[in-house]
Amino acid sequence: MNFDYNEEQQLLADSVRRYLAKSYDFEARRKIVAAEGWSTDAWKQFAEIGLTGLPLGTDHGGFGGGAVDLIGVMEAFGEALVVEPYVPLVLAARALERGAKSSPLLSSVVEGRARLAFAHTEKGARYALDAVQTRAKESRLSGEKSAVIGAPIAEHFVVSARGEDGIGLYLVDRAATEVKPQRTLDERLAGDVVLREAPAHKLSGGAALLEETVDFATALLCAEAVGALQFACDTTLEYLKTRKQFGVPIGTFQALQHRIVDMYISLEQARSMACLAASRADSAGDARERARAISAAKIRVADAARHVSQEAVQLHGGMGMSEELKISHTFRRLTVLAREYGDVDHHLARYAAL
Amino acid sequence: MDLNYSAEELEFRDEVRAWLGANLPAELREEVESYAHLSKDDLLRWHRILAKKGWVAPAWPREWGGTGWNVVQRYLFEEELGYAGSPPLIPFGLSMCGPVLLRFGSDAQKKRFLPRIYNGEDFWCQGYSEPGSGSDLASLKTSAVRKGDHYVVNGQKIWTTLAHYADWIFCLVRSDSGTSKRQEGISFLLIDMRTPGITVRPLILMDGAHEVNEVFFDDVKVPAENLVFEEGKGWTVAKYLLGYERMNTGRIGESKRQLAYLKRYGEHLMGDTRWRDRLSRLEVELTALEITNLRFLDRMRRTGQPPGADVSMLKIKGTEIQQELTELMMDATDPAASDPLSVAVRKRYLSMRKTTIYAGSNEIQRNIIAKSTLGL
Ligand SMILES: Cc1cc2nc3c(=O)[nH]c(=O)nc-3n(C[C@H](O)[C@H](O)[C@H](O)COP(=O)(O)OP(=O)(O)OC[C@H]3O[C@@H](n4cnc5c(N)ncnc54)[C@H](O)[C@@H]3O)c2cc1C
């Protein structure tokens, strides 16, 4: 048992943090969000640091990393509120690697050239994995995927659809789809993806691959949330020490001290569960063990996201509501993370059923 | 990062588990499992079994009977004790007075007291709290006046757990009432409970149990050689001990056993979504705390740093979880039932409210974190 990062994981997290500190502060991010919603420059840097190759195998020029290798990166992303659709890329590329080993797209992903997104969610399905309505018939997909993160800039989609032999994943070219762009509550690029008999390449792995992919996503989002939680706690603590009312820093009020202590406790409990989720995403004995750990993690992380984000805003007073302060954007991110790939109720039901 | 125990750690755990399986007397386990009241004999019997095996004080230095285990092994051991349903090891001698003497005691005091603590020959209790001094311990008034080769102690302690079993009490007393800082006039004294002038009076708690007492001191003569560390330096000793006290309060193994039992006990409710959600959330919180605890231990092992205010968090979360477990257990009982187990389960709910009050109330723990970790 140990909780150390190994040297490579540490180096990777450090270089991501260094880059974000230098070029992706809150002001820089604001500009990105106000413009295209993503930065090609940042994307290039991510590829250069090795992030696009991280989750893929050495066959394709990647590093064969798992969720544990990504924890440090995701935490850094959560702290900086990175908007570039990195997680969708990881999910789609991993699924592609597992379901179509020799796809030439994979080495382009590693090099940072190919942009992929993972198109699963549909209106009305909420979080149920098996509620897929999109149909696959003779290698053509019809249906509509909604709120697909990164859709406006994706060149390929990995899409879940229901075929004659059940639910499976398919690779679809963006040109064969219609994408209706939108922004999420937390200012990321997303889009509805309309499929009208779109030609598709079927991946092997079926529904189990879909479930594994979504579990992996959940593990990454837990780590990302931990980064956002850390920021929310730290920035609120700083505010308690500097903001003065009644002639003293508001951090001298015990009513507020105890509340921020509870925020940090939530953070530590969430961090523990994020470690567990990543570890089990990589090395669970079976799918049930993996699913149980990951749902447990999502329950705790989502509870912490709600608790910490709400308290952070409250303890900032009016400033917490202001668009000008980063904390309100962290609030938005945490609100979305708490629900992405399953809210608390969904994971409670899944956890209890396993 | 690897959240699995190593092969050696698992081997160690299995060894402990197998030994407990063979050596924990069934009667004791059954008493613990049915929430029965444990007698002094029960407590001492288990203490002596562990002492004989050499496992009663793992954290002590080897020369005094410690095992030389690392922090993770010690954690595993405690978890297995809890999980097996073994009687609690009363902390006052083993994890309070013992560590204090090891750190601050004279050679003579160590030789005189440590082996007797180890072997369960002396039963100890803790005399800190007073009617007017609970959280604000430094305001304590029980006085000790030096007269030649002894101190004369007058005053009152309260909430003294198991004083009615105890042979000895360690006390914080005011040896100098004229200091400018309240903390400075306090001394740490070891007092034989058979000394004339000591009266122990039971305080019955809301579950009807006799667990705590009031202890009155009326011109009690205490030999000066029973002073630990220097006169007036008792606060230093007390602060050292408080860290120890909180290390024990996570009680994760015990809570895991309670949770496993709760799942069986409340099986008839598993079809109820609201019940299942409460249970799941609690299980998740306990899992998270277990990992948090391991993270802290792992950091201690790597950095060699003693536990900081982080243990306050373990105390807060560990006790909240223990209380919630008892609440769920109570809610799972048949409201119409009056069998001994149902009654014991309800009483346990009453009793466990104490956990967030004693050993530094959870509010005080939050103050500690705010001050020493967050710098507020
Ligand atoms: C079952 C049991 C066993 C015990 N065993 C022992 C024992 O063996 N030996 C021993 O010496 N003592 C023992 N105690 C005493 C225990 O340590 C005290 O009860 C505890 O320190 C709290 O003190 P108090 O009861 O005087 O409450 P108070 O200190 O009066 O506290 C009352 C309330 O005010 C809160 N409060 C107090 N100060 C602050 C503050 N600064 N900020 C915010 N909130 C605050 C407290 O958290 C609590 O909620 C035991 C207590 C119990 C219930």
For A8, which residue in chain B has the nearest alpha carbon?
A: B1
Residue B100 lies in a domain: no
**In degrees, to the nearest 5, what angle opens at C-alpha A169 toward C-alphas A163 and A174?**
105
Among protein residues, the one whose CA lies closest to atom 27 of ligand 1: B134
Structural domain range at position B329: 249-373
Looking at chain B, how many residues does it have? 376
Residue B101 lies in a domain: no
A181 and A246 in a single domain? The answer is: no
Instruction: Round to whole Å and give the CA distance between A207 and B340.
Output: 50
Contact B73, B122 (CB under 8 A): no
Residue B361 CA, ligand 1 centroid: distance in Å: 6
B211-224 average pLDDT score: 98
Q: Give pLDDT, residue B50.
A: 98
DSSP string, B20-49: HHHHS-HHHHHHHHTTPPPPHHHHHHHHHH
Looking at chain A, how many residues does it have? 354
Residue A2 lies in a domain: no
Residues of A in contact with B276 (CB under 8 A): 348, 352
CATH number for the domain harbouring residue B194:
2.40.110.10
Distances (CA, A) of A35 to A151, A180, A325: 17, 18, 19
Instruction: Round to whole Å and give the CA distance between A61 and A169.
Output: 24
Treating both helix axes as pointing N-terminal to C-terminal, what angle do B7-23 and B40-53 enclose, rounded to 10 degrees? 130
B147 and B78 in a single domain? The answer is: no
B78 and B130 in a single domain? The answer is: no
Q: Give pLDDT, residue B338.
A: 93
Partners of A193 in beta bridges:
A145, A179
Instruction: Round to whole Å and give the CA distance between A154 and B86.
Output: 59
Among A157, A189, A206, give the residue marking a domain's end: A206
Q: What is the 3-state secondary structure (H, E, C) of A293-310?
A: HHHHHHHHHHHHHHHHHH
Residue B111 lies in a domain: no
Residue B269 lies in a domain: yes
Quickly tell me which residue has 């002038």 as its tokens: B197
Shortest alpha-carbon distance between residue B313 and chain A (Å): 7
Instruction: Determine the 3-state secondary structure of B299 from DSSP.
Output: helix
How many CB atoms neighbour CB B22 within 10 A? 7
Give residues with Cβ within 8 angstroms of A228, minimum separation 6. Answer: A78, A79, A81, A305, A330, A333, A334, A337
**In degrees, to the nearest 5, what angle opens at C-alpha B313 toward C-alphas B308 and B316?**
140
pLDDT tens track for B113-138: 999 999 999 999 999 999 999 999 99
CATH number for the domain harbouring residue A41:
1.10.540.10
Among B206, B232, B258, give the residue marking a domain's end: B232
Would you state the torsion angle of the CA atoms of residues A206, A207, A211, A214, taken in this order, to the nearest 10 degrees? 70
pLDDT tens track for A196-212: 999 999 999 999 999 99
pLDDT tens track for B141-190: 999 999 999 999 999 999 999 999 999 999 999 999 999 999 999 999 99
Among B189, B207, B232, give the residue marking a domain's end: B232
A218 and A337 in a single domain? The answer is: yes
DSSP string, A79-117: HHT--S-HHHHHHHHHHHHHH-TT-THHHHHHTT---EE
B131 and B218 in a single domain? The answer is: yes
Query: Active site residue: B80, B245, B254, B324, which one?
Result: B245
Instruction: Round to whole Å and give the CA distance between B128 and B137.
Output: 7
pLDDT tens track for A91-144: 999 999 999 988 999 999 999 999 999 999 999 999 999 999 999 999 999 999
- Please report which confidence band the pLDDT of residue B245 belongs to, taking 50, 70 and 90 as the band edges: low
Q: Give pLDDT, residue A283.
A: 86
CATH number for the domain harbouring residue B254:
1.20.140.10
pLDDT tens track for B247-292: 556 789 899 999 999 999 999 999 999 999 999 999 999 999 999 9
Instruction: Round to whole Å and give the CA distance between A293 and A298.
Output: 9
pLDDT tens track for B327-354: 999 999 999 999 999 999 999 999 999 9
Contact B241, B99 (CB under 8 A): yes
- Please report which confidence band the pLDDT of residue B4 belongs to, taking 50, 70 and 90 as the band edges: confident
Residue A124 lies in a domain: yes
Residue B348 lies in a domain: yes
Instruction: Round to whole Å and give the CA distance between B189 and B152.
Output: 11
Distances (CA, A) of B239 to B157, B186, B352: 19, 12, 25
Instruction: Round to whole Å and give the CA distance between A64 and A58.
Output: 6
Among A59, A79, A110, give the residue marking a domain's end: A110
Among B176, B199, B232, give the residue marking a domain's end: B232
A219 and A325 in a single domain? The answer is: yes
Structural domain range at position A313: 208-353
A102 and A138 in a single domain? The answer is: no
> Which one-letter DSSP state was computed for residue B167?
S
- Please report which confidence band the pLDDT of residue B243 belongs to, taking 50, 70 and 90 as the band edges: low
Instruction: Round to whole Å and give the CA distance between A50 and A60.
Output: 13
Contact A220, A161 (CB under 8 A): no
A183 and A215 in a single domain? The answer is: no
Examine the pLDDT at B309 and tell me if it is beyond 80.
Answer: no
Instruction: Round to whole Å and give the CA distance between B335 and B347.
Output: 14
Residue A1 lies in a domain: no
Examine the pLDDT at B63 and tell me if it is beyond 80.
Answer: yes
Residue A251 lies in a domain: yes
A296 and A347 in a single domain? The answer is: yes
Residue B156 lies in a domain: yes
Q: Give pLDDT, residue A50.
A: 95
A77 and A134 in a single domain? The answer is: no
Residue B115 lies in a domain: no
Known active-site residue B9: no
Give residues with Cβ within 8 angstroms of B206, minimum separation 6. Answer: B350, B351, B353
> Which one-letter DSSP state was computed for residue B133?
B
- Cα B203–chain centre separation: 19
Residues of A in contact with B369 (CB under 8 A): 261, 264
Instruction: Determine the 3-state secondary structure of A241 from DSSP.
Output: helix
Examine the pLDDT at B305 and tell me if it is beyond 90.
Answer: no
B257 and B365 in a single domain? The answer is: yes
Backbone conformation region of residue B227, classed left if phi is above 0, alpha if psi is from -120 to 50, else beta: beta
**Number of domains within chain B:** 3
> Which one-letter DSSP state was computed for residue B4?
S
Work out which ligand 1 atom sits closest to the CA atom of B360. 21
Residue B363 CA, ligand 1 centroid: distance in Å: 10
**Strand A166-173, strand A156-163: pairing:** antiparallel
Quickly tell me which residue has 């992996």 as its tokens: A216
Buried/exposed A1-12: b ≥16 CB within 10 Å, e otherwise? bbbebeeebeeb
**What parts of chain A have a pLDDT lower than 70?**
none
A249 and A266 in a single domain? The answer is: yes
A349 and A213 in a single domain? The answer is: yes
Picking from B58, B111, B106, B102, the residue whose alpha carbon sits closest to that of residue B80 is B58
Contact A297, A279 (CB under 8 A): no
In terms of pTM, does the model score above 0.80?
yes
A65 and A156 in a single domain? The answer is: no
Give residues with Cβ within 8 angstroms of B134, minimum separation 6. Answer: none
Which token pair is A128? 């149920």
Residues of A in contact with B317 (CB under 8 A): 265, 269
B189 and B142 in a single domain? The answer is: yes
Partners of A137 in beta bridges:
A140
Residue B343 lies in a domain: yes
Examine the pLDDT at B242 and tell me if it is beyond 80.
Answer: no
Residue B356 CA, ligand 1 centroid: distance in Å: 9
A224 and A329 in a single domain? The answer is: yes
Instruction: Determine the 3-state secondary structure of B15 from DSSP.
Output: helix
Work out which ligand 1 atom sits closest to the CA atom of B125. 8
Instruction: Round to whole Å and give the CA distance between B320 and B135.
Output: 19
A307 and A270 in a single domain? The answer is: yes
Distances (CA, A) of A106 to A56, A61, A77, A87, B313: 8, 9, 23, 15, 45
Cβ-defined contact of A269 to B285 (cutoff 8 Å): yes
CATH number for the domain harbouring residue A198:
2.40.110.10
B270 and B300 in a single domain? The answer is: yes
Residue A292 lies in a domain: yes
B260 and B208 in a single domain? The answer is: no
B84 and B156 in a single domain? The answer is: no
Contact A298, A292 (CB under 8 A): no
**Number of domains within chain A:** 3
Q: Residue A348 is nearest to which of B280, B298, B367, comparing CB atoms?
A: B280
